[in-house]
Amino acid sequence: KQEVTQIPAALSVPEGENLVLNCSFTDSAIYNLQWFRQDPGKGLTSLLLIQSSQREQTSGRLNASLDKSSGRSTLYIAASQPGDSATYLCAILTGGGNKLTFGTGTQLKVEL
Amino acid sequence: DGGITQSPKYLFRKEGQNVTLSCEQNLNHDAMYWYRQDPGQGLRLIYYSQIVNDFQKGDIAEGYSVSREKKESFPLTVTSAQKNPTAFYLCASGTGLDHNEQFFGPGTRLTVL
């Protein structure tokens, strides 16, 4: 059974800092990995998707990496801004390409 | 304007009542999904459908039912058999292919009074 862990559970940083969010998973037989952002009381916004054959994806100030052999992914956020404050969720696609298994998220606060 | 809509945003239910949550998508996606989110827990899959008139149970299907009569619509009914229905419910859609990227709606918060 796939298990997904995100560390840290919460993070508070000053504006402008570069930061790394971590995601680990137990079963390397994955289709892809998605990083999402969730604002309080809202739905999920897809940030980046890494296919199982890829090692990283970039979008603006965000860079996500995938190392299947070690069961790890990182989300790198450059030059953080207060608008980046949200919960970041990592999800692994398994189960015949239909089942997303989620971590519990990292709650990020970027302070002025 | 393509996307996924869920209604209502907030829903209150008395114990013993069935309620139906709406999910509509205009992304022309074959697959649709229902997840439940509880504080301190990751999202959990309730039901999913890969094609019209077909659906499969997820990890926590007990006390829930779905239908998929149209490609665009995947309503979720929370029945009185669901013991702890108060939660945030999220609908998603995707291509359903091997490298399926899923897109989420804004959610419905259900509270049982």
Q: Of A8, A6, A3, A1, which Cα lies nearest the Cα of A35? A: A6
Interface test with B, best of A38, A89, A100, A101 (most B CBs within 10 A): A100
Model confidence pLDDT, tens digit, residues A12-42: 999 999 999 999 999 998 889 999 999 999 9
Q: Does B47 touch chain A (CB under 8 A)?
A: no
Do A104 and B41 count as a contact with CB atoms less than 8 A apart? yes
Q: Which residues fall within 8 angstroms of residue B1, CB to CB, at 6 or more apart?
A: none
Amino acid (one-letter) located at B100? N
Model confidence pLDDT, tens digit, residues B2-26: 699 999 999 999 988 999 999 999 9
* pLDDT score of B2: 64
Do B41 and A36 count as a contact with CB atoms less than 8 A apart? no
Instruction: Please check the confidence at residue A72 and state whether its pLDDT lies above 70.
Output: yes
Alpha helices in A9-95 (DSSP H): none
Measured in degrees and rounded to the nearest 5, phi and psi for residue B24 equal -130, 140
Q: How confident is the model at residue A76 (pLDDT cuts 50, 70, 90)?
A: very high
Amino acid (one-letter) located at A31? Y
Q: Of A65, A80, A75, A72, which Cα lies nearest the Cα of A106? A: A75
Closest partner CB to B48 (pick from A36, A43, A98) = A98
- Check if the beta carbon of residue B61 is closer than 8 Å to that of residue B47: yes
Residue B60 has which token pair? 């926590």
Do A51 and B99 count as a contact with CB atoms less than 8 A apart? yes
Element (H, E) at A33: strand A32-38
Question: What is the Cα gyration radius of chain A?
Answer: 13
Residue A43 has which token pair? 């739905």
CA–centroid distance for A38 within its chain: 11
